[in-house]
Amino acid sequence: MQISAKADYAVRALAELAADAGRPLTCEAIATSQDIPFRFLKGVFRDLRQAGLVRSQRGCEGGYWLARDPAEMTLADIVLAVDGAFLTLRGEQLDGLGYHGPAAGLPGVWRGMEEHIRQVLTSTALSDLVGERLAA
């Protein structure tokens, strides 16, 4: 099982914004702080902005801010904003997945995994991550 680079980078970048909410942070500063490739992070921020999770301002005083309270932004919101799904199989959604014969029960296993992932991500707010209050 893999967590996409986009999802990892998005959560890390928003954690940076949540930890320093008093001022906007530039993409360059976040990329440097989190050791994320700058060009890749710019694309991630485009997705986050389109999803309404961050807002931006151009200029010398510009940068990115969280668009919502970190206590109201779940890791699920972030992952869905950049990946569009919690779990895919060979890049495809699990909807309509069906196998034959002895493997017929496998789609139910994959959907169960997706539900567990959904539960963890929807029950974890960005503020939990920043406040180091994550449950083990």
**How many domains does the chain divide into?**
1
Full residue range of the structural domain in which residue 72 is found? 3-129
Confidence check: pLDDT of 133 > 80: no
Residue 101 lies in a domain: yes
pLDDT digits (tens, 9 = 90+) for 104-118: 999 889 889 989 999
Residue 111 lies in a domain: yes
CA nearest to 122, candidates 82, 72, 87, 84: 72
Length of the chain measured in residues: 136
The answer to whether the CB of 78 falls within 8 A of the CB of 49 is: no
Residue 59 lies in a domain: yes
Could you give the CA distance from residue 6 to residue 57 in angstroms, rounded to a whole number?
22
CA nearest to 37, candidates 2, 8, 71, 66: 8
Q: Which H or E run includes 119? A: helix 106-122
Predicted pLDDT at 98: 84
pTM: 0.87
Q: What one-letter code names the amino acid at 16?
A: E
Predicted pLDDT at 134: 47
pLDDT digits (tens, 9 = 90+) for 14-71: 999 999 888 899 999 999 999 999 999 999 999 999 999 999 988 777 799 999 999 9
Residue 22 lies in a domain: yes
65-79: average pLDDT:
95
Residue 30 lies in a domain: yes
Residue 77 lies in a domain: yes
CATH number at residue 102: 1.10.10.10
Residue 135 lies in a domain: no
Residue 134 lies in a domain: no
Could you give the CA distance from residue 62 to residue 28 in angstroms, rounded to a whole number?
12
Confidence check: pLDDT of 12 > 70: yes
Predicted pLDDT at 132: 60
